[in-house]
Amino acid sequence: MGMVDLVVAGGRLVFPDRVVEGGVAVMGDRIVCVGSDAALPPARRRIDVAGKWIIPGALDVHVHFREPGFSHKETWTTATRAAARGGVTTVFDMPNTNPPTATAEAVREKIAIASAQSLIDFGVYGVVREDNLDQLRPMAEAGAVAFKLYMGSENPLVPCPSDGAILEAFAIIRDLGMRCTVHAENTPILEWRGRKLRAAGRTDAAAHLEQHADIAAVEGTQRALLFSEWTGCPIHLAHENSRFNLPLIAAAKKRGVDVTVEACPHNLLLSTADGERLGPNALRVKPPVREPGHAEPLFAAFASGLIDILSTDHAPHLASEKRRESIWDCAPGFPGVETSMRLMLTEVHEGRITISDYVRAACEAPARAFGLYPRKGALVAGADADIVVIDPERRGVISAAGLSGIDPVTPFEGRETVGMPVLTIARGRIVMQEGEIVGGPDGRSLR
Ligand code: DOR
Ligand code: ZN
């Protein structure tokens, strides 16, 4: 092999099943060689990463990057800077923007907005609504990477469709050969309980959890699995937060239902007990962080691979939108793309998972689930050169003040971490080095 553009050498290559010494060679936007240092070709630029891990850039298939419509909370510029600093090189953006991503035109509009600003490659979700079943195929043709179904929704931009419409949508998505990500809660339960709790004058954080009771999640999950099995539509269960769903998921997988499942760091590492430290409203997210007793079994399911995929549900709001008296006025969600890898590397350091487990859940599994493997999520010749170098010993403390974003509030405020991404390469271009953003926008839409 002749001279290549870039070689990252002298590190430890992390694969889902092993870790070996060596490095990667990059030509243009592709990986051209992965192997021992002796096997790597000469390069115009060589970066030595002794003592560090080399992994594929992480995918995050669940982010809310807020444009169009909510640019005051986040923009594709601020969000993809956060992603690059967090070692994330592919994101899938959720459709609850304004206008919502519910038509082919809206898909094209979002791709244009993101292309102009994004440091990294991205996918755009199309939403499934009662009134847009005729738009599912046109959205796919316009470049949607997958679909999102809000089975539990109080948001008029993305309301929950009827069961009849969901079944029809699943048949269409199956025929398109795509996957549908599902927010699996039961909307009537959420609406009924929300009304009663408000009428009773409840404004405390616990009322949010009472509204989103486990039964709402279990019913939504059961119905999503049943409809998936019945129609043959592949689904992806978003932000798993209830231990009561784990046996349902295990049984469905055993029967051969084409289902993948994600959890976010806040599902795996936090409980309502953390709300007291943060001020309770900072923890509000839909679906909620539950009471103690869920995170540990969810983490065990994540470590075993029953929960296949790590995502974040990155959903930033301004601090002034989050820190409000009444829980109902407090905007749900918080940022995640910048802190997820650090948090999970800390769990690797603690010995709760291996670095290979992390790569399986954050890189390989999401790429496979959404048809992007091995172009994304793999260190292999021919793949896109999305590469992250990790310093496994680097210590830090998470603080909103140190994060990218417009006005972030993080539920991991003050948390000590061990392990940090220190170099992010997106399709062959260095975009982050030692925490500094060094590249400009060149992200492309994935389908
Ligand atoms: O907490 C949440 N925030 N849950 C959602 O489903 C939407 C998200 C947002 O967009 O803020
Ligand atoms: Zn979300």
Q: How far is the CA of 64 from the centre of ligand 1 (A)?
A: 8
CATH number, residue 207: 3.20.20.140
Query: Is residue 286 lining ligand 1, measured as CB closer than 6 Å?
Result: yes
Angstrom distance (rounded) from CA 363 to CA 42: 28
Q: What is the pLDDT of residue 439?
A: 86
Q: What is the pLDDT of residue 281?
A: 86
Domain count, the chain: 1
Q: Cα dihedral angle (199, 201, 205, 206), rounded to 10 degrees?
A: -70
Testing ligand 1's pocket by substitution, the residue of 63, 64, 92, 157 carrying the most ligand atoms inside 8 A of its CB is: 64
Residue of the CA atom closest to atom 6 of ligand 1: 286
Q: Which residues pair with 142 in a beta bridge?
A: none
Domain presence at residue 83: yes
Domain presence at residue 196: yes
Low-confidence ranges of the chain (pLDDT < 50): none
Q: What is the pLDDT of residue 218?
A: 98
pTM (2 d.p.): 0.98
Strands across the sheet with 121-127, in order?
Answer: 58-63, 88-93, 121-127, 146-150, 180-183, 235-237, 259-263, 309-310
Domain presence at residue 251: yes
pLDDT tens digits, one per residue of 46-91: 999 999 999 999 999 999 999 999 999 999 999 999 999 999 999 9
Residue of the CA atom closest to atom 9 of ligand 1: 315
Q: Which ligand is nearest to the CA of 318?
A: 1
Q: What is the pLDDT of residue 1?
A: 79
Residue of the CA atom closest to atom 4 of ligand 1: 286
Q: Which ligand is nearest to the CA of 332?
A: 1
Testing ligand 1's pocket by substitution, the residue of 154, 208, 212, 313 carrying the most ligand atoms inside 8 A of its CB is: 313
Q: Which ligand is nearest to the CA of 94?
A: 2
Q: What is the pLDDT of residue 290?
A: 98
Closest by CA position to 96, among listed 153, 16, 165: 153
Q: What is the pLDDT of residue 276?
A: 86
Domain presence at residue 27: no
The mean pLDDT value of the chain amounts to: 97
Domain presence at residue 432: no
Q: What is the pLDDT of residue 279?
A: 80
Domain presence at residue 167: yes
**For residue 66, which atom of ligand 1 is closest to its CA?**
10
Domain presence at residue 264: yes
Domain presence at residue 330: yes
Domain that holds residue 362: 57-369
Query: Is residue 151 lining ligand 1, measured as CB closer than 6 Å?
Result: no
